[in-house]
Amino acid sequence: NAGVTQTPKFQVLKTGQSMTLQCAQDMNHNSMYWYRQDPGMGLRLIYYSASEGTTDKGEVPNGYNVSRLNKREFSLRLESAAPSQTSVYFCASSERLAGDTGELFFGEGSRLTVL
């Protein structure tokens, strides 16, 4: 049982280049998320998808786009990378029912460096 799988794990880009981070989950969860982690900032929500066919902005969506390809897959795209997007990106999924804690299940992360 792989849980949440992210690719690639590492990527170096030049300013202005584009790339897509891929995420897939095998837990049959309805909701998926993209967070970024920066030193001293904790984890901040970029975009999320409450269910297949819907996406919504989180706290820091500027410079990113997302696609919920199907129930399993949720991709994050940087159209024109900037040094400020150097970060570790985490994909997560959840299936929250009434009375649940709202626990998220995270992937291992993708470390992106923009030069």
Partner 1 sequence: DQQVKQNSPSLSVQEGRISILNCDYTNSMFDYFLWYKKYPAEGPTFLISISSIKDKNEDGRFTVFLNKSAKHLSLHIVPSQPGDSAVYFCAASDRYTGTASKLTFGTGTRLQVTL
- Region at 2 (left for phi over 0; alpha for psi -120 to 50; beta for the rest): alpha
Residue choice 12, 41, 82, 115 for contact with partner 1 (CB under 8 A): 41
Binding part of the chain for partner 1, among 13-21, 29-37, 62-70, 76-84 by CB under 8 A, reads: 29-37
- With b for 16 or more beta-carbon neighbours within 10 A and e for fewer, the 89-108 pattern comes to bbbbbbeeeeeeeeebbebe
Binding part of the chain for partner 1, among 13-21, 60-68, 71-79, 88-96 by CB under 8 A, reads: 88-96
- Chain residues that interact with partner 1, rule: CB under 8 A: 4, 31, 33, 35, 40-45, 48-51, 56, 58, 90, 92, 94, 96, 98-109
